[in-house]
Amino acid sequence: MLTRVRNLSKLPDLLHRSRIPDDIESVASIGAEAEPTELGLPPGYAERIWRRMQVVYRSGVHPAIQVCIRRHGVVVFDRALGHAQGNGPDDPPETPKVPATPSTPFVTYSASKGVTAFVVHLLVDRGLIELNAPICRYIPEYGCHGKESITIGQVLAHRSGVANVPREALTAEAVADRALLVRNLCAVRPSVAPGRFQSYHALSGGFILGEVVHRVTGKDIRTVLAEEILNPLGFRWTNYGVAPRDFPALARNYRTGLAPLPPLSLAMERLLGVSFAEAVETGNDPAYLSIIAPAANVVSTANELSRFYEIFRRGGELDGVRVVRPETIAAALVPQSRTEPDLSLGMNFGFGYGPMLGGRVVSLFGARPRRLRPTPPPTDLASTWVTRRARASSAHSATAGRRRNYRCT
């Protein structure tokens, strides 16, 4: 039986929550897991995380949750809670419900940026791209309106000065037309001096980098990612969008939590090109799932994302296959942020050349989590937390680290 989380009588649910089953185990799914203690983790490690995961789910603001944790590359926790479809806040009780499992694919939104950054670093490793080279070396027509000096590295570090593109340039139709997309990118003027300030590139940086990849390889970034990384290493998902035949398998996106209010809502609309509510529904749109949005529409599972970020943790290697040199990974993780607020976000999360840099411990919520961390976590972990909650401050987190915690969001 599904019930609403209790709210004050006769008042609307301002948190816009989903129904929670009386029996949590009825919507729980556990994948293949190794015994954590055999990998050097403390007794009860998985059980404590599982209890905390259930507490988070009971809040009602996460219709579905996936969590996967690897220790030395071995999966020690791979579980899902909730429904992939049919139990959103606005779904009628009789709506058919599809349980979420560890194999359910999700749109990862901004976690896509880390995947795109890795493709760029792969091409840096092969000598096709230079981090300090101007974008106009690869896209000559981009060198106009004050963008002549913008470098690959500045885009990766969110310091290009071009954090936004016009709303009309972000429709699925405009993005699908490569020539039109390039014209729209070239027409934009920097809002601040390139390289001077950090300003989170919600969508613009991904499209620029995607076009650079296309120019130097002759292939779109989706094809490069598949041919060079995903197919050789046996990934099922973790590419930009999905084929139409896979649409029914995807977890649906739902808006939950408090609705953003001005000035936050206005800032988000400027970043995303659409209102927050529209952005949530865009993630369910087959047209959006058909295009390549390098900063926003990678589709994956918690298991696959944590495996992908193992490449960072292992210094460019996965399952005995050398993907990039250790020096390339080290260069990607050189801090690029300064002690300054991010002009888009109002706070500075600390970026390298693509990855968001955290503390010396690895966790599901950054350097010092308070909700899911059962003990001070050991090193050599790669973990991913994915939900179907879409709200003003939600994040799909993929972390990996040996000495540091790396997040790409």
Residue-wise pLDDT tens digits, 9-23 = 455 677 789 999 999
Mean pLDDT for the chain overall: 88
Q: Which of 14-28, 137-151, 341-355 has the highest mean pLDDT?
A: 137-151
Say yes or no to pLDDT of 366 above 50.
no
Contact 373, 363 (CB under 8 A): yes
Say yes or no to pLDDT of 54 above 70.
yes
Rounded Cα distance between 119 and 154, Å, is: 16
- Determine what percent of the chain is predicted with pLDDT higher than 70: 86
Which of 59-63, 310-314, 379-383 is the least confident region? 379-383
Say yes or no to pLDDT of 363 above 70.
no
Which of 3-17, 19-33, 94-108, 282-296 is the least confident region? 3-17
Residue 211: strand, helix, or coil: helix
Instruction: Provide the 8-state DSSP code for 383.
Output: E
Say yes or no to pLDDT of 334 above 90.
yes
Number of neighbouring beta carbons within 10 Å of residue 251:
27
pLDDT, position 404? 36
Which of 2-6, 90-94, 125-129, 172-176 is the least confident region? 2-6
pLDDT class of 268 with cuts at 50, 70, 90:
confident
Say yes or no to pLDDT of 391 above 50.
no
Lookup: tokens for 31: 């994948």
pLDDT (average), residues 307-328: 96
Say yes or no to pLDDT of 402 above 50.
no
Lookup: tokens for 132: 């300090």
Higher pLDDT, 395 or 245: 245
Residue 261, CB-side half-sphere exposure with 13 Å CA sphere:
2
Say yes or no to pLDDT of 205 above 60.
yes
**263 prior amide bond cis, ω within 30:** yes
Say yes or no to pLDDT of 72 above 90.
yes
Nearest one of 1, 51, 7, 5 to 21, comparing CA atoms: 1
Overall residue count recorded for the chain in this entry: 409
Contact 17, 256 (CB under 8 A): yes
Burial 94-122 (b: 16+ CB within 10 A, else e): eeebbbbbbbbbbbbbbbbbbbbbbbbbb
pLDDT class of 263 with cuts at 50, 70, 90:
confident
Q: Where are the domains of the chain?
A: 2-109+236-266+297-337+370-407
pLDDT, position 6? 52
pLDDT (average), residues 367-392: 59
Rounded Cα distance between 347 and 366, Å, is: 15
Say yes or no to pLDDT of 111 above 80.
yes
pLDDT, position 361? 38
pLDDT, position 98? 97
Residue 369, CB-side half-sphere exposure with 13 Å CA sphere:
20
Element (H, E) at 214: helix 204-217
Rounded Cα distance between 61 and 201, Å, is: 27
Say yes or no to pLDDT of 193 above 50.
yes
Contact 64, 81 (CB under 8 A): yes
Nearest one of 160, 181, 179 to 170, comparing CA atoms: 181
pLDDT (average), residues 80-86: 97
pLDDT class of 209 with cuts at 50, 70, 90:
very high
- Edge-to-edge strand ranges of the sheet holding 106-107: 106-107, 298-300, 239-240
Number of neighbouring beta carbons within 10 Å of residue 183:
13
Say yes or no to pLDDT of 106 above 90.
yes
